Structure 1
Amino acid sequence: MKTQLELAREGIITPQMKKAAIDEGVAETLIRDGIAYGHIVLPCSPSRPNQNVVAIGRGLRTKVNASIGTSSDINSIELEIKKAKAAEEEKADTLMELSTGGDLNAIRQAVLAECNLPVGNVPLYQAFSEAAKKYRNPNKLDSEYLFELIERQLADGISFMAIHCGINRFSIERLRKQGFRYGGLVSKGGTFMVSWMEYNQKENPLYEQFDRVCALMKKYDAVLSLGNGIRAGAIHDSHDRAQMAEMIINCELAELGREMGCQMMVEGPGHVPLDEIAGNIMLEKAMSGGAPYYVLGPLPADSGAGYDHITAAIGAAHSAHHGADLICYITPAEHLALPNEQDVREGVRATRLAARIGDIAKYPERREQEKRVALARRDSAWEDHFKLLMFPEQARAIRKERTPENERTCTMCGDFCANERGYALFKDDIRGDRCRKVEAIIEE
């Protein structure tokens, strides 16, 4: 079986590429050529023919990922299925199943069966969880078992994997020589891999046998997302030598993986102050040859716990504007607890809004939706207005709860409604594309 990348290089437009082009409103050749050059990826496991087709990369809408998963404290298959369905209902584009507690095979398979989104995961989580149970020491993980586990998860229908190939002995040495960090290590998979390497005094097998990783990903036409295991966990660690060492390696591996016919993404950057986000994305794009960038957060402040979905949304909007391709959501529970179903919903909503804001800046020619919202609002055309919003149900509920006396206004201004007065003054002067075309209103 050839991968989407290999087929694109042969000039073939696959059914998945056609579907992605329709969804994006772009030419099929844009999708095909983007995949051929490694600027776009299509995570679509052949084992799940009914999953949503989602293209990620240059020239496309910025996508949103929702992450779910159990922990050693809270592990319920039913809860994870509810969270997966909530993410899909809230219009996340992709899902990551990141469980570390309970029956990990059963949880993964249940989520894959109950959800239509492309699903990704981090194989190191299950590998180290099982090693901890078996040996009472995760550092005794057999590296051969790690490769067996990757294939088993791919066979189940995983469409993309965050695999920590970019951590090596050189990057660990940078941590030591710079005096460690303000925020420490915050990647579970990355930290356990560093621990394994230090305990066994061996190189990272995922780095050492990178060609083997790519061969497995190619076999199942899955996207290899190069995990950011040494990402910054505090803005004071942003772009330190350890993070940059891993980023350089990941970008180099992205190029090597593409040469082998494997679809590649790069992950980063964690906690980054607002003024460094554009530079971070520029570096990733320049060093990786334009590989899609899967952005974790980023969080531009460390002090927003409880509202970190807002902190991250600010960073995500800037990231989307400057070229990020896939944004991993952050929920209100970040840094505090395992997210529940409502946290998932709030996280997806905040991140979708951030991605929309970023895309409005990134693609000025795609602002028609915002114009139509403004026209409906100006004309007090409430039903048309609701249909055009990203969150119509929430908007309707707020208005219903606080219904005004005059149905054309809202209770914010009541009799002092600026829109009503302005419309009355200038309605006869409205012309051109400032006229609201009711027939153009569509539901998303």
Structure 2
Amino acid sequence: MKNYSTQMEAAKNGIITSEMEVVAEKENMNAEKIRELVALGRVAIPANINHKSLSPEGIGEGLKTKINVNLGVSGDCANYEKEFEKVKMSIEFGAEAIMDLSNYGKTNTFRKQLIDYSPAMIGTVPMYDAIGYLEKDLLEIKAEDFLRVIEAHAAEGVDFMTIHAGLNKRSIESFKRSKRLTNIVSRGGSLIFAWMEMTGNENPFYEHYDELLDILYKYDVTISLGDALRPGSINDSTDAGQISELIEIGHLTKRAWDKNVQVLVEGPGHMALNEIAANMQLQKRLCHGAPFYVLGPIVTDIAPGYDHITSAIGGAVAAANGADFLCYVTPAEHLRLPDVNDVKEGIIASKIAAHAADIAKGIPNARDIDNKMSDARRRIDWEEMFSYAIDKKKAREYFESTPPADKHSCSMCGKMCAMRTTNKILNGEKVEFSN
């Protein structure tokens, strides 16, 4: 008979769960070490008891950097078939998590299909769904209504939920004093802020935090403590509003752990390159080593259409300095709902950032595949090179689009290929260009 309800509760009781064993195998780590880290809260394994198709993943200290893909319908683009194409692509390219951010109509049909289908962990922001699910205007929604939506998502099998519980009256005062350039850019955060200002009440997720944790505990849902005051421009990064909310989140992290609920902490946002490393250390200090989940950071504000690149730059620096989980950004960021191609570009950019950071962090065996690729390049073995590529199809298409006359080269250098030249000399052969 199972004598625990959550991964953290099991870990604290010295129990290695089947999910911990899967994570240990994926990470090439000892299962007991995984258990210790889960017990401390430094690793989370989001694994709702009702998500039967899940292939568990660990997020946190000493583990490979994971990536998340955001998708979901909006009022302007309500095509669930297209969203499911994005789901399939996300899984094909190895995304460890998918967040359904649908905010239009009755979203639970799509969410249930997603949970039934996906081996990747599933996240949601229940605040987005509250208005459509409850069919009420924001001002009419009560605290118990918000909790009802959270329980509905949890019962369906959602593994982690973004809850903006740190946006309380104290952090709002800091935000107002900061006189930001871009104010609040978090969609969920802005809705909570508006609700608080219109009603005069405290944040319901903060005021009823213990009740919320009881729901999450029941289904083993990981709370992802959302950063409602994340900077939406590099001008606003590391300001009093952002840091005051982070201090509140640190306190909420410990309260969740006390109730055996696993925690992720969400972070910026837009941030100049020189501030990223310090922010990662600050989060780990204030939030007691909890896994850190960052959006970007986006390192410049002037590249709409290319924000998958600005995000990957920031994400690589963030993860190399301690971030554990990267939320992808697509070229459509700030412009429109991403299409399938945008999603692909975002996934690839984020995977590159995560892998580059794992090499920098010294994650065991992280650079093995790079060494294999380099060896295949030395031998000019194209098929083997394609097999190691993050995007195998694109690598092959580029090579074959302008085929070389000599298969032991490419159309860039032809017979002047440095690999070919050096290989011939080291093999005792002459270098000739006439044949």
Q: TM-score range by the shorter chain?
A: over 0.9
- Find the partner of 2:57 among 51, 54, 57: 54
1:112-133 deviations in whole A, cap 9, x for unaligned? 23322110000101113456x4
Identity %: 38
Equivalent in the alignment of 2:416: 416
Matched, 1:389 2:392: no
Secondary structure of 1:148's counterpart equals helix
The answer as to whether partners of 2:64 and 2:363 remain within 8 angstroms in 1 is: no
1:297-324 deviations in whole A, cap 9, x for unaligned? 1101111110100110001111111111
Equivalent in the alignment of 2:399: 399
Q: Distance in 1 between matches of 2:342 and 2:388?
A: 25
- Counterparts in 2 of 1:426 and 1:307: CA distance versus 1, 3 Å: same
Equivalent in the alignment of 1:71: 74
Q: Distance in 2 between matches of 1:54 and 1:359?
A: 16
Q: Distance in 2 between matches of 1:119 and 1:40?
A: 17
Secondary structure of 2:227's counterpart equals coil
Q: Distance in 1 between matches of 2:376 and 2:81?
A: 41
Equivalent in the alignment of 1:231: 230
- Counterparts in 2 of 1:345 and 1:118: CA distance versus 1, 3 Å: same
Code of the residue aligned with 1:164 in structure 2: it is H
How many equivalent pairs are there? 424
Code of the residue aligned with 2:10 in structure 1: it is L
- Counterparts in 2 of 1:123 and 1:364: CA distance versus 1, 3 Å: closer
Report the alpha carbon displacement of residue 209 of structure 1 after superposing the two structures with TM.
1.6
Code of the residue aligned with 2:23 in structure 1: it is A
Matched, 1:138 2:138: yes
Q: Distance in 2 between matches of 1:371 and 1:116?
A: 29
Code of the residue aligned with 1:159 in structure 2: it is D
Equivalent in the alignment of 2:106: 103
The answer as to whether partners of 1:128 and 1:192 remain within 8 angstroms in 2 is: no
Matched, 1:328 2:327: yes
- Greater CA deviation, 379-388 or 309-318? 379-388
Q: Distance in 2 between matches of 1:321 and 1:413?
A: 34
Equivalent in the alignment of 1:222: 221
Matched, 1:170 2:204: no
The answer as to whether partners of 1:225 and 1:265 remain within 8 angstroms in 2 is: yes
Q: Distance in 1 between matches of 2:139 and 2:402?
A: 58
Q: Distance in 2 between matches of 1:385 and 1:74?
A: 38
Code of the residue aligned with 1:158 in structure 2: it is V
Q: Distance in 2 between matches of 1:173 and 1:129?
A: 30
1:75-118 deviations in whole A, cap 9, x for unaligned? 12212212111111121110000001132222222322332211
Q: Distance in 1 between matches of 2:54 and 2:274?
A: 38
Equivalent in the alignment of 2:275: 276
1:9-48 deviations in whole A, cap 9, x for unaligned? 1111111111111111111112111101101001111112
The answer as to whether partners of 2:159 and 2:221 remain within 8 angstroms in 1 is: yes
Equivalent in the alignment of 2:303: 304
Report the alpha carbon displacement of residue 393 of structure 1 after superposing the two structures with TM.
2.0
The answer as to whether partners of 1:77 and 1:110 remain within 8 angstroms in 2 is: no
Equivalent in the alignment of 1:39: 42
The answer as to whether partners of 1:74 and 1:101 remain within 8 angstroms in 2 is: no
Equivalent in the alignment of 2:261: 262
For structure 1, the residue ranges without an aligned partner over 5 or more in a row are 429-444
Equivalent in the alignment of 1:159: 159
- Greater CA deviation, 68-77 or 269-278? 68-77
Matched, 1:86 2:124: no
Equivalent in the alignment of 1:208: 207
Code of the residue aligned with 2:26 in structure 1: it is D
**Cα RMSD for the two superposed structures:** 1.3
1:111-164 deviations in whole A, cap 9, x for unaligned? 223322110000101113456x43xx3122111111111011100010000001
Equivalent in the alignment of 1:431: none
The answer as to whether partners of 2:166 and 2:248 remain within 8 angstroms in 1 is: yes
Q: Distance in 2 between matches of 1:316 and 1:262?
A: 27
Q: Distance in 1 between matches of 2:211 and 2:427?
A: 67
Matched, 1:30 2:29: no
The answer as to whether partners of 1:56 and 1:292 remain within 8 angstroms in 2 is: yes
Secondary structure of 1:48's counterpart equals coil
For structure 2, the residue ranges without an aligned partner over 5 or more in a row are 429-435
Q: Distance in 2 between matches of 1:164 and 1:40?
A: 21
- Counterparts in 2 of 1:427 and 1:202: CA distance versus 1, 3 Å: farther
Report the alpha carbon displacement of residue 182 of structure 1 after superposing the two structures with TM.
1.0
The answer as to whether partners of 1:85 and 1:114 remain within 8 angstroms in 2 is: no
Secondary structure of 1:299's counterpart equals coil
Q: Distance in 1 between matches of 2:223 and 2:127?
A: 14
Q: Distance in 1 between matches of 2:211 and 2:357?
A: 37
Q: Distance in 2 between matches of 1:301 and 1:354?
A: 16
Matched, 1:290 2:282: no
Q: Distance in 1 between matches of 2:276 and 2:200?
A: 35
The answer as to whether partners of 1:96 and 1:119 remain within 8 angstroms in 2 is: yes
Code of the residue aligned with 1:290 in structure 2: it is G
Code of the residue aligned with 2:326 in structure 1: it is I
Secondary structure of 2:323's counterpart equals coil
Q: Distance in 1 between matches of 2:13 and 2:146?
A: 33
Q: Distance in 1 between matches of 2:363 and 2:113?
A: 41
Report the alpha carbon displacement of residue 277 of structure 1 after superposing the two structures with TM.
0.6
Code of the residue aligned with 2:200 in structure 1: it is Q
Q: Distance in 2 between matches of 1:426 and 1:374?
A: 17
The answer as to whether partners of 2:171 and 2:241 remain within 8 angstroms in 1 is: yes
Code of the residue aligned with 2:244 in structure 1: it is A
Code of the residue aligned with 1:237 in structure 2: it is D
Report the alpha carbon displacement of residue 268 of structure 1 after superposing the two structures with TM.
0.6
The answer as to whether partners of 1:80 and 1:111 remain within 8 angstroms in 2 is: no
